[in-house]
A and B are shown apart, each in its own frame.
Chain A
Amino acid sequence: MTIAFVMLAAIAAVGAVAAMLLRSAVHCVLALTVGLAGLAGLYLELGAQFVGFTQLLVYAGAVAILAVFAIMMTQGARAWAIGRFSTRWAAGGAIAAAVFAVLAWAICGSGVLAGAVGAAPSASVQEIGDALVHRYVLPLEIAGVLLTAALIGAVVVAMPGRAGGDKP
């Protein structure tokens, strides 16, 4: 266990916990950005540079800004009026703790995970692009179609006068 791993894992975990515990929704999104940046650092440490920087661009950039915009469009200054946790928070927390206990038990009890790791494999952008347009070209096209459909669908769903009929 290296120092870099401990620090990055701590940043990711603390950011995630803060994102789920803070009261203000905007603060939660900012904490999530910190946590996901720590996760991007873990990707970099594992040798997946492209995925790490994609994570920074997509999550710490686009998704966080999208979430902040959604908060501003829905609550704005009244974000504090909503309570923090739902009425059945104890059951939800217990379920999450049980899931973590089962996962940790399975991970620690598994014997197949222990194995010598080789040298860091190369995953350059050129190799990833080569794999994307040759071996994985069909999933790439489908992902493109899905992103287009999601873009149009998001605009249609959020358009005023569609859902409910009452204009803002």
Chain B
Amino acid sequence: MTPLEDYLLVSALLFSIGLAGALTRRNAILVLIGIELMLNAANLNFIAFWRYGPAPAALTGVVFAIFSISIAAAEAAVGLAIIVAAYRHSRTTDLDKMNSMKG
């Protein structure tokens, strides 16, 4: 059986990859995808701690992960809608060019 540390390390790696993408990419949609990766890393932590925790029969980690996935889906929909609206305004999704609030 794989120890808990390995799952946590994979989760930390995914979180760091998502953070690096969210901080460095220029395309706004890819920044949002990086944020999704970070949320998924957190979900992996929920499931791993549920499986290795003292009371897995309570299903707390599983239910928390399901709620987290549903909230992340809502976040993705609203985030992409904001990007589409910002694109309609400034005609680009390049974050280095979206540098003014008033247009």
Residues on A facing B (Cβ under 8 Å) = 1-2, 5, 9, 12-13, 16-17, 19-20, 25, 28-29, 32, 35-36, 39, 42-43, 45-48, 50-51, 54-55, 58-59, 62-63, 66-67, 69-71, 73-75, 79, 82-89, 91-93, 95-97, 99-100, 103-104, 107-108, 113-115, 117-118, 120-123, 127-128, 131-132, 136, 139, 143, 146-147, 150-151, 153-155, 157-158, 160, 162-164, 166, 168
Contacts and interface: CB of A to CB of B under 8 A. Distances in A.
Interface of B: 1-10, 12-21, 23-27, 29-30, 32-34, 36-37, 40, 43-44, 47-48, 50-52, 56-57, 59, 61-63, 65-67, 69-78, 80-90, 92-96, 103
B51 A74 contact: no
Nearest to A127: B59
Contacts of A168: 88
B83 A19 contact: no
